[in-house]
């Protein structure tokens, strides 16, 4: 798997007080995937193991309070392929796997659409022999649709009409992952989501009761597929960090190095300044800067140690005067502890020893 990289974006937002400043910046950090697959699971085949639900099950459509005639059947069999296409796209674009492929034919020929069936060991072997390491199987995709349409007459002495559509579509997708060397399912899970429509449009029966519902169901299918795929790949999220400084030339110099990503040079200055300080609050702020510095250098254990030192310094300061610094330090300690745990998971997911 490709090595992870940490991206840092400084926003250089400055909050000034009479004698000190806070420099805020944003850092993008990688979060581990929800599911940790074996590092060998590099070539993934996506399989359709679903049976399309019956045409009218869970579909409720009314026009001016009356159920519509079954003249506008919805094409539900294409929805699973919309989900699969989205899954394949997201996994491919993530660059987390070597190969993502789709088996173009449904596996099942029965009509038991509410039932999920496991892939037999024999069928697994057939696919694994094609050099796939993992099988991502879509076991079931179900929808519930409720649509109420009310006509709205417009104009004066005219027969022109518009209609107000109130629609809700709920979807549920059930998936399983099989990995090479294990006959049993590696993981099974379910994702649910909903989409809503409230709009006034032209009063056209085909548009109201076929084209719009199918469009919304297709969008929901892709949305569900996106969520399925994202459970298997590390994601990036943004988080805010800050550094303490003041008018001291050395402190300003250290900050300029930090802003230029020269963390080693900034660290040397802050360590020197820490030794000069006598006030616990001043020491706490520099120790906090050193915690952030080590975090930016991916030295999370050392970063946690510095954050804990900052907390100890603050215990010797007046807590009434430094409540915000105490709250910030406690929050940072929790965040660093979480990053240490996440980093272990990321190492496993990226196949690093």
Domains of the chain: 7-32+245-349 (1.25.40.10), 44-233 (3.30.160)
What is the average per-residue pLDDT within 260-284?
96
What is the average per-residue pLDDT within 16-41?
84
pLDDT number for residue 154: 67
Quote the CA–CA distance of 193 and 60 in Å, as a whole number.
18
Give residue 334's Cα distance to chain centre.
21
pLDDT number for residue 155: 61
pLDDT number for residue 161: 82
Contacts of 259 (CB under 8 A, 6+ apart): 10, 12, 23, 25
- Do 113 and 53 touch, CB atoms closer than 8 A? yes
**pLDDT at residue 4 tops 70:** no
Query: What are the structure tokens assigned to 91, written together?
Result: 């996994």
pLDDT averaged over every residue in the chain = 91
For residue 14, the cross-strand partners are 23
Residue-wise pLDDT tens digits, 143-159: 999 999 998 876 654 44
Name the helix (H) or strand (E) containing 323: helix 323-349
- Do 213 and 145 touch, CB atoms closer than 8 A? yes
Q: Between these two residues, 11 and 66, which has the higher pLDDT value?
A: 66
DSSP symbols for 268-300: HHHHHHHHH--SHHHHHHHHHHHHHHHHHTT-H
**pLDDT at residue 12 tops 80:** no
What is the average per-residue pLDDT within 181-193?
94
Quote the CA–CA distance of 248 and 292 in Å, as a whole number.
20
Counting residues of the chain whose pLDDT is more than 70, the rounded percentage is 92
DSSP symbols for 195-240: EEEEEEEE--HHIIIIIHHHHHHHHHHHHHHHHHHHTTS-EEEEEE
**pLDDT at residue 160 tops 70:** no
Quote the CA–CA distance of 174 and 160 in Å, as a whole number.
45
Instruction: Decide: pTM greater than 0.75.
Output: yes
CA dihedral over 17, 22, 25, 27, signed as positive or negative: negative
Greatest CA separation for the chain: 88
For residue 331, the cross-strand partners are none
- Do 52 and 139 touch, CB atoms closer than 8 A? no
Quote the CA–CA distance of 21 and 239 in Å, as a whole number.
20
pLDDT number for residue 6: 45
Q: Between these two residues, 242 and 15, which has the higher pLDDT value?
A: 242
**pLDDT at residue 236 tops 80:** yes
pLDDT number for residue 11: 42
Nearest Cα neighbor of 169 from 150, 204, 197 is 197
Residue-wise pLDDT tens digits, 249-269: 999 999 999 999 999 999 999
- Do 190 and 174 touch, CB atoms closer than 8 A? yes
Residue-wise pLDDT tens digits, 104-153: 999 999 999 999 999 999 999 999 999 999 999 999 999 999 999 998 87
């Amino acid at each position: 798997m490709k090595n992870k990289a940490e991206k840092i974006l400084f926003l250089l937002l400055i909050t000034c007080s009479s004698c000190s400043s806070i420099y805020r910046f944003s850092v993008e950090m990688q979060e581990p995937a929800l599911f940790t697959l074996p590092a060998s699971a590099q070539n993934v085949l996506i399989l359709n193991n679903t049976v399309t639900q019956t045409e009218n099950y869970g579909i409720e459509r009314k026009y001016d309070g009356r159920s519509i005639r079954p003249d506008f059947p919805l094409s539900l069999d294409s929805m699973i392929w919309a989900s699969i296409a989205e899954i394949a796209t997201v996994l491919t674009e993530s660059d987390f796997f070597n190969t993502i492929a789709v088996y173009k034919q449904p596996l099942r020929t029965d009509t038991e659409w509410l039932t999920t069936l496991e892939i037999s060991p024999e069928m697994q072997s057939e696919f694994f022999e094609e050099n796939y390491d993992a099988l991502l199987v879509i076991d079931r995709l179900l929808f519930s649709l409720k649509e109420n349409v009310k006509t709205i007459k417009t104009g004066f002495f005219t027969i022109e009409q518009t209609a107000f559509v109130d629609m809700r579509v709920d979807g549920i997708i059930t998936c399983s992952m099989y990995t090479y060397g294990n006959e049993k399912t590696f993981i099974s899970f379910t994702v649910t989501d909903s989409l809503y429509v409230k709009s006034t449009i032209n009063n056209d029966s085909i548009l109201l009761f076929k084209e719009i519902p199918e469009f919304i169901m297709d969008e929901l299918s892709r949305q569900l597929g996106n969520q399925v795929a994202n459970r298997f790949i590390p994601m990036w999220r943004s988080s805010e960090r800050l550094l303490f400084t003041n008018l001291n030339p050395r402190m300003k110099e250290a900050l300029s190095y930090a802003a230029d990503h020269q963390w080693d040079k900034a660290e040397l200055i802050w360590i020197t300044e820490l030794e000069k300080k006598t006030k616990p609050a001043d020491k706490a702020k520099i120790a906090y800067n050193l915690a952030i510095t080590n975090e930016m250098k991916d030295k999370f254990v050392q970063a946690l140690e510095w954050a804990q030192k900052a907390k100890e310094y603050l215990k010797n300061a007046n807590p009434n005067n430094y409540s915000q610094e105490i709250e910030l330090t406690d929050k940072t300690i929790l965040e660093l502890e979480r990053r240490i745990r996440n980093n272990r998971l990321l190492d496993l997911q990226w196949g690093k020893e």
